[in-house]
């Protein structure tokens, strides 16, 4: 009997150890937390517009924080979405405040530009304001971010989901990368998910891996609808999603306590929208309005080739406030500026007829008269009909009076 009890005890012990090991192995950080700082700078073309703030001295080390302080700080974040603390959340917080502190510094600068847009959309749909930090874990506030699964933009829309929510994608434009359109689409999607689950943690999980995977995890967990109870049954990358979201809210609120300084942003605090209903190249705007092309690209990352195809439909062009006024004053000059150079796609084209090479001295031609046939001309010059067809690119036997026909 003792041996049986000992065996059961050992089996229980090793099962627990194995479960802990699996949990350690399956902890996967969101993709945005895995790219390095250089990659983030390079991918986002506003790299020229964000720099280190010389007035703020960022420490290189992260201060040691006790669990009780983490718990207290999280409890003081004004939120509808719960912000619980556990070891998994702690690891995500330590990643942001430790090895990713330079990336956080970068995102704090970009947040000054994007957060008002996020807040307006969330407020319009009466959604929790803490959702404004969702793009932190989705894209690290990189509007040109492209995941391994081909999700794109600040809110990381897959192509199919983006189309459902009105985001077009073609050779020249990817509206998933449009900060304004993608934000309003994301807010509508989040609201739809909440109408399904009525639980924000499940909404966040579904936003990451899709409702199908969340529903499957709920079934495998015996019908449980608590995120932390279905946690082991979710895809690996989704297990780190809610903890990453909690950590993003924490670090964007308490960055000062960890010695992290925001970088200095030269992105315009206020921008305006111009509706473009003709084809236009960003370089035309940059040249006539005297604005840096990189700044234009940063404000309008949806235009993949720098071309706005306004002839197909109206598109919104984001400009700094002062530049928008200049655009209105010089609109005709902008559209006309080197249009042939930047917009050289031909609407019509003439098809060249077969011509004689300049060095073909022995070439002979016959001017076709009314009533003549291809066979009659061939007999007249002692050549075959097929030879005439091949020399002149003719199919069939029809010829047109007045045209020259090459004989040899």
DSSP string of 329-380, one letter each residue = HTHHHHHHTTHHHH----S--PPPPP---TT-TT--EEEPPTT--HHHHHHH
Residue with more model confidence, 169 or 12: 169
pLDDT band for 13, please (50, 70, 90 cuts). very low
| Whether pLDDT at 233 is above 80 | yes
Q: Pick the range with the lowest mean pLDDT from 67-76, 152-161, 328-337, 360-369.
A: 360-369
Q: What does the alpha-carbon distance between residue 274 and residue 318 come to, in Å, rounded to a whole number?
A: 6
Considering only CA atoms, which of 236, 41, 227, 242 is closest in space to residue 134?
242
Residue with more model confidence, 396 or 339: 339
Q: Is 37 exposed, middle or buried (0-12, 13-18, 19+ CB in 10 A)?
A: middle
Instruction: Please state the rounded mean pLDDT for residues 248-272.
Output: 87
| Whether pLDDT at 206 is above 80 | yes
| Whether pLDDT at 196 is above 50 | yes
Return the CATH number of the domain spanning residue range 365-406.
3.10.350
Equal CATH topology for 34-265 and 365-406: no
Q: What does the alpha-carbon distance between residue 202 and residue 193 come to, in Å, rounded to a whole number?
A: 9
Q: What does the alpha-carbon distance between residue 143 and residue 152 come to, in Å, rounded to a whole number?
A: 8
Q: What per-residue confidence (pLDDT) applies to 43? A: 47
Instruction: Please state the rounded mean pLDDT for residues 248-277.
Output: 88
Query: Who's near 93: CB < 8 A, 6+ residues apart?
Result: 70, 246, 247, 250, 251
Q: What does the alpha-carbon distance between residue 271 and residue 294 come to, in Å, rounded to a whole number?
A: 15
Query: Who's near 165: CB < 8 A, 6+ residues apart?
Result: 157, 185, 186, 188, 189
Q: What does the alpha-carbon distance between residue 47 and residue 57 come to, in Å, rounded to a whole number?
A: 20
| Whether pLDDT at 352 is above 90 | no
Highest mean pLDDT among 14-18, 22-26, 81-85, 103-107: 81-85
Considering only CA atoms, which of 40, 43, 279 is closest in space to residue 172?
279
Q: Which two tokens stand for residue 166?
A: 């009105």
Q: What per-residue confidence (pLDDT) applies to 207? A: 97
Give the model confidence (pLDDT) of 72-118 as tens digits. Answer: 999 999 999 999 999 999 999 999 999 888 889 889 988 888 999 99
Give the model confidence (pLDDT) of 139-149 as tens digits. Answer: 999 999 998 88
Q: What does the alpha-carbon distance between residue 221 and residue 225 come to, in Å, rounded to a whole number?
A: 8
- Domain-wise residue ranges, the chain: 34-265, 271-342, 365-406
Q: What does the alpha-carbon distance between residue 136 and residue 202 come to, in Å, rounded to a whole number?
A: 18
Residue with more model confidence, 193 or 53: 193
Residue with more model confidence, 7 or 115: 115
Q: Mean pLDDT across the chain, nearest whole number? A: 85
Residue with more model confidence, 58 or 397: 397
Q: Which two tokens stand for residue 260?
A: 């992290």
Return the CATH number of the domain spanning residue range 34-265.
1.10.530.10
Cβ–Cβ < 8 Å for 157, 185:
yes
Give the model confidence (pLDDT) of 269-327 as tens digits. Answer: 678 999 999 999 999 999 999 999 988 998 999 999 999 999 999 999 999 988 999 99
Q: What per-residue confidence (pLDDT) applies to 36? A: 52
Q: Which two tokens stand for residue 232?
A: 């082991």
CA 134 to chain CA centroid, Å, is 15
Strand partners, 366: 405
pLDDT band for 33, please (50, 70, 90 cuts). low
Strand partners, 318: 273
| Whether pLDDT at 32 is above 70 | no
Give the model confidence (pLDDT) of 382-392 as tens digits. Answer: 898 888 888 88
Specify the 3-state DSSP secondary structure of 217. helix
What is the reported pTM? Answer: 0.76
Considering only CA atoms, which of 125, 180, 128 is closest in space to residue 154?
180
| Whether pLDDT at 17 is above 60 | no
Q: What does the alpha-carbon distance between residue 242 and residue 228 come to, in Å, rounded to a whole number?
A: 9
Q: What per-residue confidence (pLDDT) applies to 28? A: 66
pLDDT band for 125, please (50, 70, 90 cuts). very high
| Whether pLDDT at 218 is above 80 | yes
Q: What per-residue confidence (pLDDT) applies to 290? A: 95
Q: What per-residue confidence (pLDDT) applies to 23? A: 43
What number of other Cβ atoms are within 10 A of residue 152's Cβ?
26
What number of other Cβ atoms are within 10 A of residue 51's Cβ?
12
In the chain, what percentage of residues exceed pLDDT 70?
Answer: 84
| Whether pLDDT at 197 is above 80 | yes
Phi-psi domain of 7 (left: phi exceeds 0; alpha: psi -120 through 50; beta: other): alpha
Q: Which two tokens stand for residue 117?
A: 């847009």
Residue with more model confidence, 385 or 242: 242
| Whether pLDDT at 182 is above 70 | yes
Q: Which two tokens stand for residue 266?
A: 């030269």
């Amino acid at each position: 009997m003792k041996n049986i009890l000992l065996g059961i005890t050992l089996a229980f012990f090793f099962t627990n150890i194995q479960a802990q090991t699996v949990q350690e192995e399956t902890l996967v950080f969101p993709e945005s937390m895995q790219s390095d700082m250089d990659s983030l700078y390079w991918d986002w073309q506003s790299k020229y517009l964000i720099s280190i703030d010389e007035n703020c001295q960022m420490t290189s080390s992260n201060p040691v924080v006790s669990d009780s302080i983490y718990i207290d700080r999280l409890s003081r974040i004004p939120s509808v979405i719960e912000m619980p603390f556990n070891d998994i959340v702690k690891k995500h917080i330590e990643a942001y405040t430790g090895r990713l502190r330079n990336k956080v510094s970068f995102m704090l600068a970009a947040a000054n530009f994007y957060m008002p847009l996020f807040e307006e959309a969330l407020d319009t749909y009466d959604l929790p304001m803490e959702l404004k930090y969702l793009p932190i874990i989705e894209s690290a506030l990189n509007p040109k971010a492209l995941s391994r699964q081909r999700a794109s933009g600040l809110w990381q829309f897959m192509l199919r989901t983006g189309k459902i929510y009105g985001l077009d994608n073609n050779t020249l434009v990817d509206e998933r990368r449009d900060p304004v359109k993608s934000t309003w689409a994301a807010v509508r999607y989040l609201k739809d998910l909440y109408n399904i689950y009525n639980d924000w943690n499940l909404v966040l999980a579904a936003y990451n891996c899709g409702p199908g995977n969340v529903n499957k995890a709920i079934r495998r967990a015996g019908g449980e609808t608590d995120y932390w109870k279905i946690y082991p049954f979710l895809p690996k990358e989704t297990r780190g999603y809610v903890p990453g979201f909690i950590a993003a809210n924490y670090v964007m609120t308490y960055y000062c306590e960890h010695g992290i300084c925001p970088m200095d942003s030269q992105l315009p605090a206020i921008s305006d929208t111009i509706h473009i209903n003709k084809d236009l190249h960003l370089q035309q705007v940059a040249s006539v309005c005297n604005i840096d092309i990189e700044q234009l690209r940063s404000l309008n990352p949806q235009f993949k080739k720098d071309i706005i195809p306004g002839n197909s439909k109206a598109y919104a062009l984001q400009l700094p406030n002062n530049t928008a006024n200049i655009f209105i004053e010089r609109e005709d000059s902008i559209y006309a500026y080197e249009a042939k150079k930047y917009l050289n796609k031909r609407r019509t084209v003439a098809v060249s007829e077969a011509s004689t090479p300049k060095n073909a001295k022995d070439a002979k031609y016959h001017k076709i008269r009314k009533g003549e046939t291809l066979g009659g001309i061939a007999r007249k010059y002692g050549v075959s009909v097929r030879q005439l067809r091949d020399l002149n690119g003719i199919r069939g036997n029809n010829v047109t009076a007045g045209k020259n026909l090459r004989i040899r």
